[in-house]
Structure 1
Amino acid sequence: MTRKSLPFKDYSYRADPKVSDFNDQNPIIVFDGECALCSAFVQFVIKHDKQKEFQFSTGQSNLGQALFQHYGLDTVNFETNLLISKGRAYAKMSAFSQTTSLLPYPAKFLSLAKYIPSPLDTWLYDMIARNRYRLFGRTDRCLLPDENLKKRLIE
């Protein structure tokens, strides 16, 4: 296992009967749809994803719940976004840096976060995640998709 991905075999979710089939040819971000910071990050990705490659799913959706459960992540508190790219799953700071590395410049510069040494990166991510609702707010419902997002949202 590298520090960048979760300790599962690539494409392991395909063998999990709880995870419904989904198009995994493009990267997918599973995020907390009630978190203002997470939703803002998704909007940031959409804005910079000129090729419209990224797909999205909320942690509250059936697919999101199954993927979080498959990877042993909290299915209630969603203290991480989950990125699945080329069958490999990333969480926490690795998900952030891997996601931004797939975007064009200038957004790609944010992928330099991968050079934050561990465990400092984990501490920093966890500190923000634990306080995200207090610092950035919480919506009482999931992000309402516009037409641009609707096409790439997997329920």
Structure 2
Amino acid sequence: MTFVSPDKALILFDGYCHLCSRSVQLILKFDHQKQFLFAPLSGKIGEEIKNRLIISETIDSIILVENDQFYIESEAVLKIADRLGGLFNLVLVARILPRSWRDYLYKLIASNRFNWFGRRNNCMLPNPEDADRFL
């Protein structure tokens, strides 16, 4: 079952996390090909996709869904950077590290994201010009 067209990828994100919301805004700014769609993890669509793809409830930060496959933690970040291209390709240098190391760093940031970056009172809402990119 396909969730988005093959030329698009879906980013599920924590809409209450300032770091996650800022990351979505950054992706929107540099995604000139409009290849990414977005949905909050805690929303109806996010929950439905997590259930269909059998994604653990313990995954509470970012999930990239691409061609009916999903990527989490550092692999999601690297795949997003790869699709964005340009200066984001610099992030791909992290692939020289073992995935366990990358994921450890990712989990360290993710588990402290509310303490370090804050928590929103309401889920992030898109700007009107980007509303069509949110499911």
Q: TM-score, normalised by structure 2?
A: 0.89
Q: 2:36 aligns with which of 45, 54, 58?
A: 54
Contact 1:82/1:90 (<8 A) preserved: yes
- Please give the residue correspondences for 1:67-146 in structure 2 after superposition, counting only pairs within 5 Å: 67-69=49-51, 70-74=53-57, 78=60, 80-146=61-127
* Distance across 1 between alignment mates of 2:70 and 2:134: 18
Residue ranges of structure 1 left out of the alignment (5+ in a row)? 1-13, 15-20
Contact 2:12/2:64 (<8 A) preserved: yes
Contact 1:83/1:89 (<8 A) preserved: yes
Q: Does 1:65 align with 2:47?
A: yes
Contact 2:31/2:84 (<8 A) preserved: yes
Q: 1:40 aligns with which of 9, 18, 22?
A: 22
Moved more, 104-113 or 28-37: 104-113
Aligned length: 133
* Distance across 2 between alignment mates of 1:84 and 1:128: 21
Contact 1:81/1:95 (<8 A) preserved: yes
SS at match of 1:84: strand
SS at match of 2:34: coil
Larger helix percent: 2
Moved over 6 A (4+): none
Over residues 14-72 of structure 1, what are the superposed CA-to-partner deviations in whole Å (9 max), with x where a residue is unaligned? 2xxxxxx7433311100000000111111111111011111000001111112233333
Residue ranges of structure 2 left out of the alignment (5+ in a row)? none
Deviation at 1:103, TM superposition (A): 0.5
* Distance across 1 between alignment mates of 2:35 and 2:114: 28
What is the RMSD computed on CA atoms of the aligned residues?
1.7
Contact 2:9/2:35 (<8 A) preserved: yes
* Distance across 2 between alignment mates of 1:30 and 1:113: 22
Q: Does 1:27 align with 2:9?
A: yes
* Distance across 2 between alignment mates of 1:55 and 1:62: 15
Amino acid at match of 1:110: V
* Distance across 1 between alignment mates of 2:129 and 2:56: 28
SS at match of 1:149: helix
